Amino acid sequence: MNDFDVIIVGCGPVGALAANLLGKQGLSVTVLEREDTLHPLPRAVHLDHEMMRLFQGAGVIDRIAPQMRDTDGHLHVGADHGVIRYMGTVGQPRPFGWANDYFFYQPELEAHLRAGFADCERVSLRLGAEFIGLEQDGDGVNVRFAQGGHEHSLRSRWVIGCDGSRSAVRKALGVELDDLGFEEPWLVIDAEVDGPVAFPPISGVPASADLQRLSVMMCDPARPATIVPGRGNHRRWEFMLLPGEDDADMMAPDAVRALVGPWIGHAPHTLVRAATYRFHGLVAERWQVGAVFLAGDAAHQTPPFFGQGMCHGLRDVANLAWKMAAVVNDHADPALLDTYQPERDPHVRAVIGAAVAAGRYICELNPAKAATRDADIRLAQASRDGETAHDLIPPIGAGAIMPGSPAAGERFIQPRGADGRLLDDRVGGGWRLFVRSAAIGGETRAVTRIDAATVDDGDAIIDWLDQRGVDAVLVRPDHYVFGTASGTGAGLLHGRCGALALTVEAAA
């Protein structure tokens, strides 16, 4: 007999979102968190529109959005202090409803996520509860943890290890990490600054770009650095440590002031913290062992050059949550969960690969090679005109999607209606079948069938269908496209993925 559907180990941002999403679906959940209090210092500062949509679906967006700062993208500056790469979003469409990039303060986000599930009857949080080990049998997982000086155990159908980069769950499973071959030491400095950042002269800044609203990467071989405009007065600097520099020396107050002083000028400010990190790319060889899943930093770590580390983890648990809910609530075949790693692992590796590639050019310390790099990137930039950070995030390539179906695995759009309300708020979450006209499709089961013509700003959906030459699109609960179809009448969209048949035979 299991005590819970799911035990989540670790209540960082990833574990906390998992608790919200699972609790909202009515699953019984307990979260084991080693610490008694929230981690007080910010690590992640950037997230993208997909995370905002997940917070929206989890019912926590109203808490979170007011403290977010939407920004205009990323700017990379070369050795000669001229722009080499611009991924700006000014004037770009917002097909997913939210701005592409937001900056935030991680302790605030985590507090909001915990508050989001605090009232959920079927979700409990055990603070000061440290995971020790687990044993699995065919029916569930026995989890052992220490709390209040005693060892306890609980059983659940599934466990999600969201316990961060040093994951004890991962170690208990004996899962190794693939090293993607990048490791560089950086000093991270957070400050509250009452005034704008004092940038040095930078040439070639596009007319639409406002440096105060961009994440700026100074690819200067003298000292690569990143400057990020956080929420409110929060500013983040990240400086690469040069060969021979000592971590402790560089974290000393005088060294920190020497580095950030020129950027702060005379503005009143408070230094919040300075800490060194090793930026690296690591991915777990296995994300699932039996009924135990790894998510977030427990499963992968990335250099933070595109601010996607936490975002990967939030996508992980969004992927798991709807599948677990489908098994518990809709009696879907539990084999559906076997699509977790095939969907998430290549996706994460692709984005970490882009961050590692950017890291290699950002961290170039040889002036001659940096000059060549700048020339090459400027040449390539012509073909990348209009590029945004969104373009780095690929569709899902395989898993619980209709193989061979146009647009399968893409993220589906979220237009705003004339009243400013977003699509998901108007039509709801879960499985959605958008059809070009009422004449298309048959009965639906476990799927909300929506005639695009009746949706406020349904034109955006009709345009989406037109661009892909299809008449209907079936969207998963995590907003990725399951599949599309053309033609009219019964049998429009059959679930071709064996594990998903129960849920998706809907439109037959």
Ligand X SMILES: Cc1cc2nc3c(=O)[nH]c(=O)nc-3n(C[C@H](O)[C@H](O)[C@H](O)COP(=O)(O)OP(=O)(O)OC[C@H]3O[C@@H](n4cnc5c(N)ncnc54)[C@H](O)[C@@H]3O)c2cc1C
- CB of residue 161 vs ligand X: minimum separation in angstroms? 9
Distance CA 450, CA 435 (A): 6
Piece in contact with ligand X (CB under 6 A), picked from 41-49, 198-206, 418-426, 480-488? 41-49
The answer to whether the CB of 151 falls within 8 A of the CB of 145 is yes
Assess 224 for contact with ligand X (CB under 6 A): no
Of 9 and 219, which CB lies nearer to ligand X in the complex structure? Answer: 9
Residue 50 makes contact with ligand X by CB under 6 A: no
HEC-encoded secondary structure of 234-258: EEEEEEECCCCCCHHHHHCHHHHHH
Q: What tokens appear for 479 in the block? A: 């907003």
Is residue 308 near ligand X by the rule CB under 6 A?
yes
* Binding segment (CB under 6 A) for ligand X, from list 206-214, 303-311, 380-388, 455-463: 303-311
Residue with tokens 């980069």: 165
345 binds ligand X (CB under 6 A): no
Cα angle vertex 23, ends 65, 95, to 5°?
A: 40
Measure Cα distances from 244 to 111, 183, 226, 249, 277 in Å: 39, 15, 21, 11, 15
230 binds ligand X (CB under 6 A): no
Contact yes or no for 58/25 (Cβ under 8 A): no
Q: What are phi and psi of 383, to 5 degrees?
A: -80, -10
User: Which H or E element spans position 376?
Assistant: helix 367-381
Closest approach, Cβ 83 to ligand X, in A, equals 21
Q: Give bridge partners of residue 31 from the DSSP assignment.
A: 8, 125
Which tokens in the block code for residue 54? 């997940």
Q: How far is the CB of 46 from ligand X (least distance, A)?
A: 4
| Secondary-structure breakdown of the chain: helix, strand, coil percentages, each rounded to the nearest 5 | 35, 30, 35
Report the length, in residues, of the chain: 508
CB 484 within 8 A of CB 470: yes
Tell me: does residue 15 bind ligand X (CB under 6 A): yes
Cβ atoms of 345 and 283 within 8 Å: the answer is: yes
By CB under 6 A, is residue 297 in contact with ligand X?
Answer: yes
- Residue 293 makes contact with ligand X by CB under 6 A: no
Q: Is 283 in the site for ligand X (CB under 6 A)?
A: no
Number of shown-chain residues binding ligand X (CB under 6 A): 33
Binding residue for ligand X, selected from 88, 140, 230, 307, defined by CB under 6 A: 307
Is residue 189 part of the contact set for ligand X (CB under 6 A)? no
The window from 163-171, 249-257, 365-373, 455-463 that contacts ligand X (CB under 6 A) reads 163-171
**Taking the alpha carbons of 30, 34, 37, 41 in that order, is the dihedral positive or negative?**
negative
Q: Does 294 bind ligand X (CB under 6 A)?
A: no
Cβ closer to ligand X: 152 or 426? 152
Would you count residue 47 as binding ligand X (CB under 6 A)? yes
Which C-beta is closer to ligand X: that of 303 or that of 483? 303
- DSSP assigned state of 299: T
14 binds ligand X (CB under 6 A): yes
Query: At its nearest, how many Å lie between ligand X and the CB of residue 505?
Result: 35
Strands 73-77 and 4-9, by their bridges, are: unpaired
Task: Please spell the DSSP secondary structure of 4-22, one letter per residue.
Answer: EEEEEE--SHHHHHHHHHH
Name residues contacting ligand X, limited to 126-155 (CB under 6 A).
130-131
- Residue 40 or 491: the one with the smaller Cβ distance to ligand X is 40
Using CB under 6 A as the binding rule, the residues of this chain from 21 to 40 that contact ligand X are 32-35
**Which residue, 162 or 474, is less far from ligand X as judged by CB?**
162
CB 144 within 8 A of CB 156: no
10 binding ligand X? (CB under 6 A): yes
Q: How far apart are CB 179 and ligand X at their closest, in Å?
A: 17
- The verdict on 303 binding ligand X (CB under 6 A) reads no
235 counts as binding ligand X under rule CB under 6 A: no
Cβ closest to ligand X, residue 236 vs residue 373: 236
Instruction: Identify whether the C-beta of residue 165 lies closer than 8 Å to the C-beta of residue 14.
Output: no
Judged by CB under 6 A, which of 44, 123, 291, 318 binds ligand X?
44
To ligand X, the closest distance from the beta carbon of 414 in angstroms equals: 20
CB 188, min distance to ligand X, A: 4
Identity of the residue, 83 or 389, whose beta carbon is nearer to ligand X in the bound complex: 389
Outline where DSSP puts E strands in 247-376. 269-284, 288-289, 292-294, 300-301
Q: Which residues pair with 216 in a beta bridge?
A: 75, 227
Which token pair is 36? Answer: 């008694």
In angstroms, give the least distance from the CB of 498 to ligand X. 31
Characterize the bridge pairing of strands 292-294 and 472-475. Answer: unpaired
Contact window for ligand X (CB under 6 A) among 7-15, 59-67, 280-288, 428-436: 7-15
> Can you give the binding site for ligand X, defined by CB under 6 A?
9-15, 32-35, 43-47, 130-131, 162-164, 168, 188, 277, 296-297, 304, 307-311, 313
